[in-house]
Chains A and B, each alone.
Chain A
């Protein structure tokens, strides 16, 4: 301890941010500053970053409390497109529910739901071209679903079974699909962010027309890779959209531990001289509109955009997590931005393109679609018990393009040890 006796200055105090509500506390978001839908103007896509400085401090919202689409950011999508977006979000939720249950049934080791965050991935996918390249984190399964990637293929990855194209090497939910423009997910947080920028730089350097998009959670914005990505994106005006999914929680740490007490996550864009938008992440139309704006900006060589999607992680971080240990059980219900599926449903009903009966019929159809896919995937094996779905020698494959001598030797050693042991 420093000797402060005899000094006139007051002792310093370390500030350690603490969420306002812990388990058992009464939750209220009444003081959250939420601009009304339609309140924020839509700047031209070629606006200079200096002219966009206020956007990171507000919230772009399109759907009002009655479900009307209002304001300059209304993307004016045709009803059939809206229904497809709704379907993608509902299918994502049905898939999550089934895979969560599969983990609890011991069919796999691990799962992560994206409940409440379906719009962030599904609506964004609708605003991108099919051949734009996505560098997701582990909670954007909606991108694959919105791009009509087969559920069976995703489930085979979850089960590490014979149909798993990754040969059972990756933890469940770490999907990869080159064909769907969905980059291989890594467990290391934020590493995909500079990679997304690099992909976009390559596209620009080669005179391509495709753009890239990356996703991180608000917790991962604290990683050094976040800074690396932002500075490279800014310097080279890379055609990239850098999404921050602010779902308020990084496992047990509230967003204040990632810096949210001092500023917004979108506002970091200002420091880099990059366009920054902050969006109601539970408003599918707002997510679509902001992504569409950023994509047009990137395609016009006007540079990158950082988008903060303000949302809430409704479920546990993963199947290994129990959120009741660190936050109130009813906090998700109290979150004032509601549920993205319910909000789009309400809008569709309001414009006369949807009704409760059709909604319920679609929900039942999607549950059945997931169930059928589940049966198909499980027929190729699950991770239960001691099932080995891939040949032992596959451990040594794909470390390098061609297997070097030391790996051949180790492969033979393993085979011999197993033979001697009689297993």
Chain B
């Protein structure tokens, strides 16, 4: 066991996978010699060589497209898109190719790639360094979408994603790379070393895809969240004393609907939290499924606490970010009924 932050855990996962499997290769902008703009690939090129960890031209379509081609050769590429906000030029390759290859060829070809990308706000990243585009990808049949919220899960989920036979989008909440963040932007940030989930095994282990984690057991209300918002929800529960059951989804597709429905059937109330914009966001899917499956158990309307339906602003970041004030109010509304 070593105490790691999220970046070190991700770096460790890549190192473990590259050491175990010659087919694993890492590519992306600045990931090679420099080790990545967030240091997630630091030291990997020196250890595993330039033909397995290499810098690419600034071309997301090319990064994903080349990774798909490498996968069809038999490799397990782990391409990095520097910010999720810049994944859009690679979307055709992801949606039309990576996601459909197994289906359209009835299994003759497969695409075991894992696209890593830092995402989410809370860092004064403005419009193009803060977005949460997961809802675009959860809508695509054939893609898996994974979002960790702590170092232990980050490493275990990333190893599971790389070993998965299908294409996986692995969104890393960059706000919590160095420490958990409860949404109180006016307080000093705690490092991961003071958090239990920073104890990370040095070797190989996995956290299975498609399994949520109940990170706080409770009776009053179910909170569905992932990424940074897990820590916002935990902070609110601690501050308000509301006995919320907080579920870290960890994988959005395939979704662990059993854990969700078991919780809502117990609490009768549900609040969904995500940073992404509301309309058509993944929260809409969660809300629909909870309503369909738990209708007779629900004692209040399902609430969604999300980013507003606007581009991500710079100076008004804390009015946009769905922080503790907004979540607390939503919980009180749901509990009032």
Contacts of B103 in A (CB 8 A): 169, 398-399
State the Cβ distance, B239 to closest chain A Cβ, in Å: 35
A-B Cβ contacts below 8 A, count? 146
Specify the chain A residue showing the minimal Cβ separation from B71.
A198
The answer to whether B52 touches A166, judged by C-beta atoms less than 8 angstroms apart, is no
State the Cβ distance, B36 to closest chain A Cβ, in Å: 19
Mask, A232-265, CB within 8 Å of B = 1, is 1001000000000000000000000000000000
How many angstroms from the CA of A297 to the CA of B232 in the assembled complex? 58
State the Cβ distance, B255 to closest chain A Cβ, in Å: 7
Q: Is A6 an interface residue (CB 8 A)?
A: no
Q: Is B93 an interface residue (CB 8 A)?
A: yes
State the Cβ distance, B77 to closest chain A Cβ, in Å: 8
The answer to whether B69 touches A166, judged by C-beta atoms less than 8 angstroms apart, is no
- Known interface pairs A170-B104, A228-B59. Does A201 touch B52 (Cβ–Cβ under 8 Å)? no
B62 touches which of A199, A232, A397 (Cβ 8 Å): A232
Mask, A201-235, CB within 8 Å of B = 1, is 11111100000100000000000110111011001
Q: Which of B54-70 contact A (CB under 8 A)?
A: 56-57, 59, 61-62, 65-70
- Which of A166, A178, A229, A232 lies at the interface centre, i.e. has the most chain B CB atoms within 10 A of its CB? A232
Specify the chain B residue showing the minimal Cβ separation from A402.
B165
Stretch at the interface among B107-115, B274-282, B298-306, B325-333: B107-115
- Known interface pairs A186-B97, A399-B141, A399-B142. Does A198 touch B73 (Cβ–Cβ under 8 Å)? yes
The answer to whether A406 touches B102, judged by C-beta atoms less than 8 angstroms apart, is no
The answer to whether B109 touches A406, judged by C-beta atoms less than 8 angstroms apart, is no
State the Cβ distance, A260 to closest chain B Cβ, in Å: 23
A183 touches which of B61, B109, B165, B253 (Cβ 8 Å): B109
The answer to whether B210 touches A404, judged by C-beta atoms less than 8 angstroms apart, is yes
Q: Is B19 an interface residue (CB 8 A)?
A: no
How many angstroms from the CA of A169 to the CA of B210 in the assembled complex? 27
- Which of B89, B103, B107 lies at the interface centre, i.e. has the most chain A CB atoms within 10 A of its CB? B103
Contacts of B311 in A (CB 8 A): none
Mask, A174-194, CB within 8 Å of B = 1, is 101110000110111001011
The 7 closest A-B pairs by CB, nearest first: A198-B69, A194-B65, A228-B62, A198-B66, A195-B69, A404-B254, A202-B73
What are some 12 contacts across the A-B interface (CB < 8 A)? A166-B104, A174-B104, A184-B108, A191-B93, A193-B65, A197-B62, A197-B65, A198-B65, A198-B71, A204-B51, A224-B89, A406-B254
